[in-house]
Structure 1
Amino acid sequence: MNDRGLFLARLFLGIPFIVWGAMKLMGGAAALVPGLAAIGLPDPLIFAYLIGLCELVGGIAIVLGYPVRTVGILLGLWCLATAKQAHMGNLTEILKNATMAGGFFLIAATGAGSLSLFRGIPPGRLARLR
């Protein structure tokens, strides 16, 4: 696949997660608390900030292209879990999350390409985490 195309796909998939994560960490986490409390989490505010942190770090990893295979799978599963848990009853949101999951799984399958951190081939022990 074209390396520029992979880079563009990583930008389209990663930047929204960077924005959503940053928004949650800068005070938007409180909006998640009622929904997280409703599913029975013990301290929903802490989980809301953890969600923001995961989204921010995952988005940065996708944009940088490392470790894109691991993060692609995790964010793809995250999108499917969020669709099931938070968006049931809203077909548009479910399909949006399913579409993002497909993109993340595709990036995980193809790799980051050469326009990425370490040009897609991490050195030494970092090579174990792809």
Structure 2
Amino acid sequence: MHDEALLVARLFLGIPFIVWGALKLRGGEAKLVPMLAALGLPDATFLAYLVGFCEFVGGVAVTVGYPVRTVGILLGLWCLLTGYAAHRSDINQLLAHVAMAGGFFLLAATGAGALALFGGAPTGWFAYLP
């Protein structure tokens, strides 16, 4: 039951990031560019596509369960950063980002479980990756 629960948690955390990343890569970056430019960041269009790519790849990594510890920490920090930078004036959105961060940090602490790519324990060259 433990491994099945981890699989469900990975799906609930990973699939939204896959969708959000794909939407940004397919033209949704137009909504993100003005916000990034308003923050004073250089080349906002490139950064918007980079955000979409990172969200997509991170979501896929969480969903398949490898490297879930590294990606869990990175996406948890990402949720805290974006929650503060973009949603600090909306307490509901900020708390939603904090909750997602907690889920990612918990996933990083527990690991992917046996129902993951490589069964949660990679071998060969992949064993050296975090």
Q: TM-score range by the shorter chain?
A: over 0.9
Query: Which consecutive residues of structure 1, in runs of 5 or more, have no partner in the other structure?
Result: none
SS at match of 1:115: coil
Identical columns (%) = 64
Q: Per-residue deviation at 1:129?
A: 1.9
Residue 99 of structure 1 corresponds to: 99
Answer yes or no: is 1:108 the counterpart of 2:108.
yes
Residue 18 of structure 1 corresponds to: 18
Q: Per-residue deviation at 1:128?
A: 2.2
Q: Which residue identity is paired with 1:63?
A: T
Residues in 2 aligned to 1:128 and 1:10: alpha-carbon distance in whole angstroms: 22
SS at match of 1:26: helix
Residue 56 of structure 1 corresponds to: 56
Q: Which residue identity is paired with 2:129?
A: L
For the 8 Å contact 1:37–1:44, the answer to whether it is kept is yes
- Equivalent residues, number: 130
Q: Per-residue deviation at 1:116?
A: 0.3
Q: Per-residue deviation at 1:41?
A: 1.1
Residue 82 of structure 1 corresponds to: 82
SS at match of 1:15: helix
Residue 42 of structure 2 corresponds to: 42
Q: Structure 1, residues 20-71: CA drift from partner, whole Å, max 9, x if none?
A: 0000000000110111001111100000000000000000000000000000
SS at match of 1:126: helix
- TM-score w.r.t. length of structure 1: 0.98
For the 8 Å contact 1:70–1:129, the answer to whether it is kept is no
Give structure 1 regions of 4+ aligned residues with deviation exceeding 6 angstroms: none
- TM-score w.r.t. length of structure 2: 0.98
Q: Which residue identity is paired with 1:91?
A: I
SS at match of 1:112: coil
Answer yes or no: is 1:126 the counterpart of 2:98.
no
